[in-house]
Structure 1
Amino acid sequence: MFRKKSTDEGSNFWISYADLMAGLLFVFILLIGAIVSKSIILKSNLDDKEDRLTMLSETLSHKETILDELSRDLAKNKTLLSNTQASLDEKIKTLKLREDEIRKLNRMLLETNTQKDLLNKKITLIQNLLQETNSTLKRHRKELKEYKGKVLVLSNQLSDVRSSMKEKDIKMLQLLNALDEKETKYDMLIAKLQKQKAQIKSLTGIKLKVIAALKEELGEKINIDKKSGSLRLASNILFDKGSDVLKEEAKEELKKAFEEYIGALVTNPKIKPHLDKIIIEGHTDSDGGYLYNLDLSQKRAFAVMNYLLSLDIAKKYNLKPLLVASGRAYLDAIKVNGLEDKDASRRIEIKFRLKNEDAMQEIEKVLDAE
């Protein structure tokens, strides 16, 4: 009984094992089938993609061919465009030249029209003058007729006058003879007076001689006034506006000008014997009140004199007794065409005064009046 049971169990085991193996085989077959199916599908997809890539490659090659053709066309178009541009530039130049010619012709036409207008105006003026001249000639002819009648009357009167003049001529001859005797004496007196006048003139011309000698001495070094012989220095070089303090940078220039000018005065034998005073005058323009400008000009003149007295030349030639400072405000303003030149009016003048100058000036006035 037990034996039969064990036999059944062995049989069942193998049946179960067979079933298991059959199931595994089935699963394996299914797996193999799935793998084969998958590989077939993948290969199919790869083939499709390969075909697409081939088509894309052919399309790309075709497009590259088209692009090359377009590049060649573009190069041709560029060449054509540059040729066209050159031709266009040439035409523009030609047009500009023609425009210039047209402008020149327009200007010539305008000038011609202007000249024509001027000629028309002149012709009109000439016609008007001719008309006035004709009317004037008619008036003169009429006046001439009237004068002829008056001349006849005057001719008759002249005959009467001539007869009376003969009698007067006889008397005149008698008077002339007597006058000749007196004129001889008068001429002698006049000759003597002219000689004395020339001598006095030579004395009164000393200042002109001094100025001439001063110019000869200085030459081109310093520019002096032709009439008075004075040395002029602009105030804006020596002083700040409204100030009477001498600028430091102006002192050297002032020293040089003064030494040359005064040196010529005190060392020249033609000038020194007649020298009386060396006057330093301050001048202003007319801006501001008179008293303010008088005070400012006086202070500036004094400042210049004070500096000049400190120089070696002043001590060497003992200039202290000769120097005089004077303020003139705007009494001697410089005028150009009747108007005040304010820049030129603001100045310092260094001038000289000769001995007996006032007396010589009065003598000159008397002689000129005679």
Structure 2
Amino acid sequence: MQRTRNRKRRLITRPDVGSYWISFSDMLSSLLLVFILAVFFSIYQYFSLLDIKTRELNEQQAELDRTQIVLAQREKDLETAQVTLMGKEEEVASIQIQLQQQEEDLFAAQAALKTKEDEQAVLQLQLISQQESLASQEIRLGAMQEALTSQQRRIDELLGVRTDIIRELSQSFSANNIAVKVNEVTGDIILDSQLMFETGSDMLSASGQAELGRLIPVYLSVLLRPEYEPYVAEVIVVGHTDSKGSYLFNLELSQNRALNVATYCLQLPGLTGQQRDLLQDIITAKGRSYSDRILNADGTENMDASRRVEIQFRLKDSEMIQKMNEILKGL
């Protein structure tokens, strides 16, 4: 029934078909216009949005550029910092090397100081030892000084005794008219060999015996006085020859002459028993051949003066006195 109604309506309205299409076309035109407007609006919105996005993109690009600049600056700063850091690291390494060297120097200085301290300790010990040794030496020196003073007194005493004996001998010989010279330093008496012996002979001549008979008692009367006798150690008769003949011949000749003089002195009748006993204990004889010749001023041998007999006396400790005198002269 409904369908019947609809058909009736379409049949009724059929005479207005043309106006319908006009309305439909108007509607389509309107729709097209709306579509175009929509399209234009969409395009407008697109370009507007594009412009906004472009501005945003440009802003972002500018921001990115600024960021890149900042980043580049920071990278540059970082590189500078790295270079600075490398320099600092090198400085630190150099300082570490210097520190290590200083530590080594310090260790070396400490070792040297320890060595010096050890050396100083050794030197201190040596100093103490030397001080002790010095103190001991000072004590010894004091004792030696006392001994030296005592020896000096002894030397002075003996030298005084020798001087007194020499003076007394000279005075006694002069008082008895005996022409013999006494050495002022040694006290030696020189007897002319020509007066005492014949040439080449060791036997005492009569004149020699007479000379000894006058000289020896006076000589012993001085030398063996109570004030001198304790100091006399030896009376030495020494024979000398010239260089004529061999050394051995002259040695035997000089020894025999000295022995004969000593023997005759012991047998002199003018001696007291005490003098003879004392002389026997201290007299000796020896020959020197021609080993101690007398020379002239021109260096040639004085044959007459070389042939001689010497009578010497030696005081007790005379060798020591001579050495002590040498020491004292060297002080």
TM-score by length of 1: 0.44
Given the two structures, how large is their TM-score scaled by the length of structure 2?
Answer: 0.49
Q: Which has the larger radius of gyration?
A: 2
